[in-house]
Amino acid sequence: MTPCPHDGTSTAQPERYPQALCSGCVDRATDLAGRAVAMHNTSLYGGFAARHVDDGSPCEQVTADGAVLVDGRPYRGAEARYGGVVVEP
């Protein structure tokens, strides 16, 4: 277990992503305009996309560039190597 680089929560960090944020921080991610987003894979074979939490509409900004804010601080969301999503500084 290591501390999350954003809030210090003790979390199991994947070896490939030692700077990955914990799931609690990822759940607080917003687009650059401040709307909450949920990031996900687009299929069983990968891909990356984001949707606005409030209405389920696609978030084109995060899908295109991965730039998110967590508590106002910038991070980047992306597809993880073997599926899922990772958010890192």
Strand 85-88 relative to strand 73-79, pairing: antiparallel
pTM of the full structure: 0.91
Q: Band of the pLDDT at 14, cuts 50, 70, 90?
A: confident
Beta bridge partners of 52: 37
- Length of the chain, in residues: 89
Measured CA to CA, the distance from residue 62 to residue 31 in angstroms comes to: 6
Q: Taking residues 31-40, what's their average pLDDT?
A: 98
Q: Band of the pLDDT at 11, cuts 50, 70, 90?
A: confident
Beta bridge partners of 39: 50
Residue 74 phi, psi (nearest 5) = -80, 140
Q: Taking residues 19-42, what's their average pLDDT?
A: 97
What tens digit of pLDDT does each residue of 45-58 get?
A: 889 999 999 999 99
What tens digit of pLDDT does each residue of 77-87 get?
A: 999 998 899 99
